[in-house]
Structure 1
């Protein structure tokens, strides 16, 4: 089962919301001011109508009825214009905030360590980048502005009600306990409910994605029933989660409907009694009843969008949770390898083995690693490539070669022991600095939508066309790139000029050449190219990467033949380490591998 990415807590969500508000003080002030003016314009009508009723009831023929009616019409028109301007200002603010949220989310996604993404699986990440972003978009563009409008309008209406007569506010207070109790009951349950709903949807996405990607394997192994059962179970959990949130709404909405209708009735009834007692005038009762009626709309809007705010809050918590959570750093290398007591020797600083620092030396010492607790796949491995050395890692499938390569590239963190560069723990380095030291290229390559030049130069945007062509030449890709319709300007990727898997692999290697790290980990990096072309490519790369440390993981043993040293990995341990000829002479595991792959000749 995939490990879901973290979710931000309520305090983090509130803090981030305050940060967003502080980023746009002018736009927020303008939107609130316009909503306030619109609300104030809407308050004039009931007050003027109350004055008109009072004048008529008193038999005052001097009451300017026509002027009052024209004033009411004028305020209604003014309120409509102000509301339109307020909605436009709120929409602009919402779009700015949403754009910032999306940009920051992309930054967080790109900063995620590969190990974190692999543990989480595709379902959770896809749900956050699609469903959660969509839900948050609706919240920012609609729910937040509508809620602001409701709060401002309700505040102005209550203020106007107080000015009409403090006694007439008392009937409205009857609904407060109902609304407060219902809202608190709902809020205590809604956030957790919507988080479960989104998590269940992630499971569905993850399961369907696995089923589609592995459809041929599923069919070959006759596992269709198991995959259907997994999907059915995921759907049942999602149905239960959505049914729970629907149940919350079926309780909350009827309670609130009663809560905001009660004030109108009580204001009319109690206000009539106050009028009979002579405590208030008929005009005051009329205005107060109209204000109570007017209060329904903002309260109804607020409660209607409160549910959307809970959905958006849950989505924001999931998006904020993608905050580049790094694997826990290993124990400090200096603590694990204390320097000897006494005076420090003269000369340059050195690492734990006495090698001078600053040379970019990568070292793995006594590393143990497990994907699952209690099931180690690497057991106390020590591997210290020499700077500038070409080291090949070979061994049977499942022996731990790729896992060790990922440790050396800083993708995974050792459970015990440490992987260091210049004596510094590799996984403790910022990602940008880490990739300047070590780069990993695997069998899996992605061609981005854009020109061929952009695909190669993305690791160094300042690279010239000559630099890009030199990188492509280093991986034997100039022949086919020059043959493209527009050369380096040819658009590739989805919807563009199609590239074969081998060509995509060459693009990835060209990026690596242009990135120019001092240590490279190649995990079957030429597996999609035919053996003869792969051998020629590796020889070309060897010339270009002269002076850099190269760790090549491969099943094709000509890589080992050309390497300075060969490490044989078996059952999570390095069983043999040395030059090709020396290992052949020993007649051990490597010699057996070589004979089985190449025949009896060496």
Structure 2
């Protein structure tokens, strides 16, 4: 109940990259695609120049008509305008195709890097962060970054080029007309500066609120049965409402920024054209400019509205994109699992000496544990809930490191082993299992990519997965969402079959058969025992027949080993284990 009630607030958020890291990442992305960027830039410049020709030609027509030119001259200019329009369309289309290909490649690279960084995260870090933050970054933030790369960046780049060329064209007509086209710039720059000072933090806060809401909803959904059994519906509703309220507040903040930013920017769109007409008439009256120049400059002023509008619109989306990119890149700021270089000879003892451990911000849950597990031994660890059994299993598997003392294999600290070797030598299987989207063969091949179909079938038989015979396509049956769904017991057997295929030196079972009914669980454990004969097996036992079948039993209470010996020895000692056995065995009689 405590875990569900705590919800997202108990999670430690993953880091967020700073602006310098985001800028470096964008620069690296640009360098990787510099040829595409250069080609796109050249094409967009050419398209923009073709677009600038039309207003200039219109101005020339006005001046020619005012000077009494013949109709044939006007027709020639009109054909030139049509040619420029066609050229602009063709160049723009080609440039957009180049930009789209760049965007897709860049987006694919970002997604691949994100997956690679995520898979390098230490398990303990992922567990502390919770599923909500990671899920939001891998879905919402990655999608937002992808949209920014595909649309926002190319659009802003194109618009900036067009705007600069339009302003340059106005200055070429006459410097005074060039100054007038900038009439709306002070207002636009001022409000943009105001917005950019506030937007990054506002969008980061919005992303964080979304992560917390996802975490809260996920915890409620996953613990639905517990919520119903313990009558926590109202508490979880309040929790969800509070998370929704925070996200609503953060979204109101970003909406308030937009409600100031866009109206002020749009109010400045008409200023250049109005200034051009008013002041242009004065300049024309004094003979400083021609009528055609004023007309062309006014058309340029109107032409400048579209790129400015796109820049301002996508500037807001760019803030979302940069905030999401900072969250995506934050995954890479977590120190990856240490790549140990030590190796341990096979067939060595797993030794625990003076181990103490506490979770962040808590008190010690293990107090001076001493234990030796002999090669090939079957050790059962029993004790009441909260005694520290699962914590000990995590330390033995090298997922966490002890605060004091050491856990070693053949004299080498387990956490100093190379992660790949550690996973080959020591496997931890809990009662929490995952079925990946794909075929049954895909799900089994994760443990042993080189396994044959016969190997997989043998592994399934070893764990008592009788349901395999009913699958319509055998190992090629699709599993997961939208395909055949496995119940918890079947999913647990798939995980155990993976274990058989992985064939580790040391196997740690943390209530790995909890989802199976007692008869199936006992049959599965016996089958595993036969298949894994000669392997070291450490079983966190919740059913005491596991302890009965083990070579030795370690009794854990309040973070300490209080008894250690064989089942018969501990029963004769008439201690805590004997009392537990009598109580459990009496219930089964």
Q: What is the alpha-carbon distance in structure 2 between the residues aligned to residue 164 and residue 364 of structure 1?
A: 84
The residue aligned with 1:406 is 394
The residue aligned with 1:505 is 492
Return closer, same or farther for 1:311/1:555 CA change in 2, 3 Å cut-off. same
Offset at residue 589 of structure 1 (A):
2.1
Aligned ranges for residues 264-283 of structure 1 at < 5 Å? 264-283=273-292
The residue aligned with 1:156 is 165
The residue aligned with 1:305 is 314
Q: What is the alpha-carbon distance in structure 2 between the residues aligned to residue 109 and residue 9 of structure 1?
A: 19
Aligned ranges for residues 158-557 of structure 1 at < 5 Å? 158-323=167-332, 325-326=334-335, 359=347, 361-427=349-415, 431-477=419-465, 479-557=466-544
Aligned to 1:387, the other structure's residue is in SS state coil
Contact 2:121-2:336 within 8 A present in 1 as well: no
Any gaps of 5 or more consecutive residues in structure 1?
A: 334-348
Please list the CA deviations of residues 224-255 of structure 1 after superposition, one character each: whole Å capped at 9, or x if unmatched: 32222222211221111011101111111122
TM-score for the superposition, normalised by structure 2: 0.90
Contact 2:122-2:337 within 8 A present in 1 as well: no
Q: What is the alpha-carbon distance in structure 2 between the residues aligned to residue 292 and residue 118 of structure 1?
A: 56
The residue aligned with 1:568 is 555
Aligned to 1:292, the other structure's residue is in SS state helix
1:125 aligns with 2:113: no
Return closer, same or farther for 1:328/1:485 CA change in 2, 3 Å cut-off. closer
Contact 2:120-2:337 within 8 A present in 1 as well: no
Offset at residue 60 of structure 1 (A):
4.7
Please list the CA deviations of residues 389-439 of structure 1 after superposition, one character each: whole Å capped at 9, or x if unmatched: 322111111111012112222333333344344555444555434322322
Q: What is the alpha-carbon distance in structure 1 between the residues aligned to residue 394 and residue 431 of structure 2?
A: 13
The residue aligned with 1:339 is none
Offset at residue 466 of structure 1 (A):
2.1
Any gaps of 5 or more consecutive residues in structure 2?
A: 1-8
Contact 1:583-1:591 within 8 A present in 2 as well: yes
1:41 aligns with 2:50: yes
Aligned to 2:295, the other structure's residue is in SS state helix
Please list the CA deviations of residues 283-326 of structure 1 after superposition, one character each: whole Å capped at 9, or x if unmatched: 33332222222112111111111101111111122222223835
Please list the CA deviations of residues 567-589 of structure 1 after superposition, one character each: whole Å capped at 9, or x if unmatched: 21111122222333333333322
Aligned to 2:130, the other structure's residue is in SS state helix
TM-score for the superposition, normalised by structure 1: 0.88
Q: What is the alpha-carbon distance in structure 2 between the residues aligned to residue 262 and residue 158 of structure 1?
A: 14
The residue aligned with 1:336 is none
1:83 aligns with 2:70: no
Please list the CA deviations of residues 495-520 of structure 1 after superposition, one character each: whole Å capped at 9, or x if unmatched: 33443432221211111111122222
The residue aligned with 2:152 is 143
Contact 1:55-1:63 within 8 A present in 2 as well: no
Q: What is the alpha-carbon distance in structure 1 between the residues aligned to residue 410 and residue 157 of structure 2?
A: 55
Aligned to 2:432, the other structure's residue is in SS state coil
Contact 1:128-1:318 within 8 A present in 2 as well: yes
Please list the CA deviations of residues 455-505 of structure 1 after superposition, one character each: whole Å capped at 9, or x if unmatched: 11122222111222232233233x442443332223333333443432221
Greater shift, 15-24 or 186-195, is seen at: 15-24
Return closer, same or farther for 1:327/1:379 CA change in 2, 3 Å cut-off. farther
Aligned to 2:355, the other structure's residue is in SS state strand
